[in-house]
Each structure stands twice: as structure tokens, then as C-alpha cells.
Structure 1
């Protein structure tokens, strides 16, 4: 049964049907062929969406859209530009730091690229950076968003793997800072080798003070979010709701950029994005149920544990698997399909589920920078108006710090587990 399901799924993917259709249609056909109860089709798809943590997904998408519309990204970019823009390669360093800050409200790599990519690439190209370098650092910096809280992929992984969403979100803080640091080191090395330009911005304390005051409401958004999670006052869903309310408040009353028309546009964009995500969640739940009926998760767990009972070796095997999967499968679909299969085996072998969640998501975010299905590549190609092969060439140097980060997080569990365990 599982073999039939997987073959049908691959055939539908090869004819380039949307991923949700591939998941749902292949599952329905197998249920008919093997006389499984058809009432489950509606039951599993609806029940998959009856999840409180998943309510955070549309709310975070809406908050990111509101903040982007309010001009928050421009204020953050200009503030960070004044701090580090003067060094060689400074505008690229600004791109990395702003991605870290903005990831505190966006929760998704493609949202970061959509909100920041055009500004970052245009500024770097204007200052003399190559188009390949500008596109590469923009894509690499966007991988920070799904690791640093809030993270839509982490929330979905937590709901699938039955892990505390709050702890898993907090587990992403230190890895995100590590990725940021390694990307900045990579930019610094390339700046020396390629003599990257310096920004023409001049640091002035008075101008910096004014820009800091203007940017303070934007900077407070991730502080509010992370503070609520760490203090325990908010869960992921509550934090998402508070972030939406905060975005509406500062957009309307502080930056004065939001009006009714823009809010409606942001809401429409949120419905479009949420519909796509939750359609995949629903059909993937049905797909996973068919696999479970055929005992594939138990078989896969036994197979992995037969290969080794060493947690580190199993993590390396999973890394290879996910890096390959990330080249071909959309990240949310990959989480929903694969996480229920491999999580039991690795937790049984002693892998901390918090570490596994971060390793899982980071692998799939690296997949966004690899062909043939790397969505970041296609999005930046459109934004930068560049052929895909040049965008891929620009991404290659920045895979080095991402792979080093993945290696460190794989080999050192404390990078992921220290902070959530410290906070209890």
C-alpha cells in the first residue's frame, strides 16, 4: 500500500501538479484501491486543521504583511545601515542583521525575501556589488527567519511531532544567532578578498538618535514576541494575536502608513498564503494516515534503529535524507510527510526532539537555496530580474556558513537545547 501511494505521489509530482493535489489525490486513490473507509478522507483533513498552534500561522503571516506595509523594513534597514554600513561590505552585513531582526515578526524565509529582498538587492547593486553576490546574501540571510521565533515551519513541526511549540521556538534563538554570526564572517572574508565597497553613509550621533527613536516601535516587536514566549505569559497563538494587534497599532498611530485599504490588502494576501499552507497541512495529514495504516512509520523506525543506535550517526543519516528531500519537496509538505516517520526512531535513540526540530527545519531551509525546487532561487530571480543560473551561482558561497551551522547544531545538542532547558 505504501509503495503504491509513493509511486502515485511521485507520478503526480512529475506531471507538475500542485503539491497539495499530489498528496490528497494519491491518498484518495489508494484508499479506493485498498478498500479503506472513505469517511476518513473528510475526517482526517478537517481534524488536521483543528489545532490551536496552527492558528498562529495565519496570524504571523498577517502581522508580517502589516509591518511590511507600514514601512517598518525601511526604518530597520536605515538604522542598521548607520551602525555597520561604513565597514567594507557593510551593506551586505546590514542585510544579514536586518533579516535577523525582521525574522522576529515574519516567521518565514519567503516572507523575508518578499519584504526585504528588493530593498537589499537594489541598495547593494547601486553601491557596486555584483548581482550574484547581492542575490546570494539575500537568500542566505532569509534562512534565519524560519529558525528564529516566530517560525511557521517550527510551529508546524511541533504540531506534527507532539513537541512543545513554545520550547521549540525558544530552541531556535541560539542557532539563529549562530547562523547570523557565520554569515557575517563569510561576508567579512569575501569583502577582503573581493574588495567589496563601503557604504557612503556617515555615522552621526544626532542622526542616529533620531533614527533610533523612529525605529524603536519596530525594534520592540520581536522583543515583545520573544519576551512573551520566554516569560510564559503567551503561547505561540497568543503571541501571534498580540503581534497583529501591535502591528495594527504602530502602523496606524505611530508610522501613520496603514489605512483601511492597506489592511484589507494585507488580509487578502494573508488569506491567499494561509489557504495554500493549510491545504497542504490537510492533505498531508491524510497522506500520513495512509502511511500509518500500512505501518510505514514503525517499519522506518525499526530500519533506522537497525542501522545504528548512535544518536549522532542517525542525525547524520537524517541530514543526508532531508538535504535530498529539500531539493525536490516544498518544506512544509516535507515536514508533514517525513517528521511523523522519523521522529519516533530518533527520539527512541536518544535524540532530543528540540534538537531534531531545529536540524529538520534548517535542512529544509537550505533546500530553498538548491535546485530544482528551491523557492528562494525562483523568488530572487524574479525580484532581481536575473537568470536562474546566475542566482544559483550567487548562492553557492553562502552555503558554506549554512552547512557549518548545520554541522554544529547536529554535533552539539546544547546549541538547541540549552536555552529552553535553562528557562524550564
Structure 2
């Protein structure tokens, strides 16, 4: 009963537009008082919520994404992707997806992808006659790949919330990210072929152009290779990987001579602000999860779901529908911190591996990022595209189809997320 009161109050405060961290904190304090738990426990649980070595990766990943955006690295990634993939039917729309996959190997944030690389992509598409709505829609859809392909801030949050291996989650995200990208590319191909859109005509392929852009952008292009190799070969731990990513991003920006003190300060201040918000959410979620765990909500939910839905396929489908709705109202990190500890026992009853569940849950909340009513991605995308959020929403709706297809593949084909972790790290 106390857990229901806590969740009800949190949702009520969200609806009243109380800042998320404050809403969660107020709901948790009221729940502690209602349960008769000494308030000093709140402080201890908040400290416990951020007492994790793996959390060191978060500010480094955020910093790496900020350095790439202010250091001009995104421009070179897009130019190379255009030379390599522009010949495909759909032209720059296909380049948009491919560039997001490459960029994802350095940044763990969808909003960093959207505000940085997305601005470059939409500007190029606008200059080549692509409709503003279509450009915004494909950019919003492709930016969901960023936090799935490692390094990923959202997967680190899930790992800490459920005590799952960060390394396995990162490796699982590679296969899942490629599946999502393939679904989007097929959708773009079918759309352009069906509508015979003139703006979607492919560009002429030039091997010389590919070699030139590859040579000029080699340091930026190699970033995902360096980061993933460090993880796969055990050179660094997942927590240390954030430091490797940020250091490499800074070195590349200095190599291109595109970094000055003003841009460095901009990247640092943005990193501090973002990290502070994430850490506060972790602290508050630590106290909130204490109340939920005390009442054995996860255990009771697992028993109820097992009795209500015995078929694993229907059970996983029902959980995905639930997560889609949750993602529409709660931002990604919050949804994971609140929902993951409860549902991990439920999906275990259906035979789903926690690594697969982590990727599935993360992608669900990322889809929620581009859907109303919260949908912060819609507002950022609309601002970057220079159109209204309503128009952005209408343009994004068709791209939900390939995203949901990708989600279904991740949920029901375990090999997508488990093959590579098993190959690299063993059973």
C-alpha cells in the first residue's frame, strides 16, 4: 500500500509539472512518514544510491558527447557516412541512420546525438530539398540508436539498478543497435520507392570521395573501434571506458584544431549540469527503491504476473505494452530506476535473460522519448528542425513502425543481444 501511495504521489507531482527530482523526493518523504520509517534512513539510502564505482562512467560519457559536438567531430562523421552510404535509395535519410550508428560509438546520449549530429543532418537534408518534417522524423527515430550502442549512459543506469554486468550490456547493445538501424533503413527504402520522392534519390557513389573523407575523418571514425576494442579485449573496465572515450574525444578535437578554451569550458559546464541531475536522480531513487523493496513489490508482482499470464510470449508482449505507456510519461533514467527492479523478477519468470531485458527496457523508454506527452525529444527535434512540435510529432509517427519491429526482434530473438556477450565474455 505504501508503494502504491509513493508511485501515485510521484505521478501526481509529475502531472503538476513539479521538477522530476523534487517530485520523487517529496513522494519518497511522504511514503517514509506514512510507513513510520525514521527520516534519517532517507539520507543513508540516498548516499547508498550514488555509492557505486560504475557511476564514474556517467560524467565521462556525457563529456565525450559534449566534446564531439563542440569540437566539430560530428561534421566529419556525417561527411564520411554520406560518402559511404549516400548511394542507397533514400539518399541522405540512409546517411542519417548510418551516421547515428557511427556517432553512437562515442556518445551515450540520445539528446547529444539529436542536438549535435542531428543539427548537421537536418541542415544537409534541408539544403538538398528534403521536407522538414521527414528530416525531423528520421532524425528523431535514428537518435534512439545512440544510447543502445555502447558506450551507453542508460545501460549503465540499468546495470546499477539491477546488478547486471555493464560489459555484457554494452556488447548486447551492438547487435540490438544494428537491428534497429536495419529496420529504419528498410523503412526508408520502402517509403522512397513507394512514394517515388524526388528528394530521396541516391547520390553518385565515388570511391575517391570515400577514401578522401575516410582519410580526413579517420581519427573520428576510429573512435568507436578504439572504445569497443578496449572493452572487448579487457584493456579497461566498463567504468574506465568512459575515461577512455572522453580522453580520445578530446585528443581528436585537438588533432583537428577545432577546440579552444571557450568550447572546452562549454563542454565542461554542460557535463557538470547534466551529471548533477543524473546523480540527484540516483540518490532519490535509492531512497524510493528502499520503500518498494521493503514491501516486496517485485516479488508480489512476479507472482501476480506468473499467475495472470502463463504464456511467456504473451507475458513479454504485455510487459512491452506496459513499458510503452510508462515511457510516454516518465523520462528514461527515471523509468529504469523505478521500473527495472520491479520487473526483472517478472521477466525472469518468463525465461528472459536480464541482459536482454535491459536492452529491451532501455529501447522502450527511448521510444517514449519521442512520443507525447513528455517526449522531450520531440521538443528538441522541433527546435533543431525549426518547425512546431505538432508537425514534428506527425512526421515521426510513421517511423514508430520500424522502431516497434526492432523492439519485437530484440524481445523475441535472444540471440540478437546474447550472442556477442557470450562469444566475448563466455556463458
Do both proteins adopt the same fold according to a TM-score greater than 0.5, normalized to the shorter chain?
yes
Q: 1:88 to 1:297 in 2, by over 3 A?
A: closer
> Which deviates the most, 97-106 or 34-43?
34-43
What does the per-residue CA deviation read over 1:160-219, in whole Å, with 9 as the maximum and x for residues that have no partner? 111111001101111110111111111111111233325796544444322211111001
Residue of structure 2 in register with 1:52 after alignment: 53
- Contact persistence 2:192–2:200 (CA under 8 A): no
CA contact under 8 A between 2:130 and 2:200: conserved in structure 1? Answer: no
Instruction: Specify the alignment match of 1:364 in structure 2.
Output: 365
Deviation at 1:113, TM superposition (A): 0.1
Residues 71 and 263, structure 2, Cα contact 8 Å, conserved in 1 = no
Structure 1 CA distance, aligned partners of 2:352 and 2:273? 37
Query: For residues 31 and 386 of structure 1, what CA distance do their matches in structure 2 show?
Result: 45
1:237 matched to which residue of 2?
239
The RMSD of aligned alpha carbons is 1.5
Q: CA offset at residue 406 of structure 1?
A: 1.0
**Distance (whole Å) between structure 1 residues aligned to residue 140 and residue 161 of structure 2:** 27
Structure 1 residue 214 corresponds to structure 2 residue 210: no
Provide structure 2 residue ranges, at least 5 long, that are not aligned to the other structure. Answer: none
For each residue in 1:40-74, what CA deviation from the matched residue of structure 2 results, as whole angstroms up to 9, or x when unmatched?
A: 11111111111111111110000111122221111
* TM-score normalised per structure 1: 0.96
Q: Deviations over 1:351-382 (max 9, x none)?
A: 11111111111111111121111111111111
Aligned positions of 1:142-291 closer than 5 A: 142-196=143-197, 197=199, 203-252=205-254, 254-291=255-292
Contact 2:93 2:200 in 1 (8 A): no
Distance 1:200 1:405, change over 3 A: closer
Q: What residue number does 2:319 align with?
A: 318
Answer yes or no: is the 8 Å Cα contact 2:110–2:146 preserved in 1: yes
**Aligned-residue offset at 1:7:** 2.3
Cα pair 2:110 2:144 within 8 Å, conserved: yes
Over 3 Å counting, the alpha-carbon distance change for 1:204 and 1:10 in structure 2 is: closer
Contact 1:141–1:180 (8 Å) recurs in 2: yes
TM-score normalised by length of structure 2:
0.95
For the Cα contact (< 8 Å) 2:63–2:268, is it kept in 1?
yes
Preserved CA contact (<8 Å) 1:327 1:368: yes
CA drift of 1:151 comes to 1.0
Cα distance in structure 2, aligned partners of 1:327 and 1:351: 24
- In 2, the alpha carbon distance for the partners of 1:87 and 1:336 equals 40
2:377 corresponds to 1:376 = yes
Alignment: residue pair count: 423
Aligned equivalent of 2:333: 332
2-side partners of 1:201 and 1:261: how far apart?
A: 37
SS at match of 2:217: helix
Query: Which residue in the other structure is 2:19 paired with?
Result: 18
Q: 1:115 Cα deviation (Å)?
A: 0.9
- Tell whether the 8 Å contact from 1:87 to 1:198 is kept in structure 2 after alignment: no
Structure 1 unaligned blocks of 5 or more = none
> 1:399 and 1:207 mapped to 2: Cα distance?
33
Distance apart, 1:402 and its partner CA: 0.6
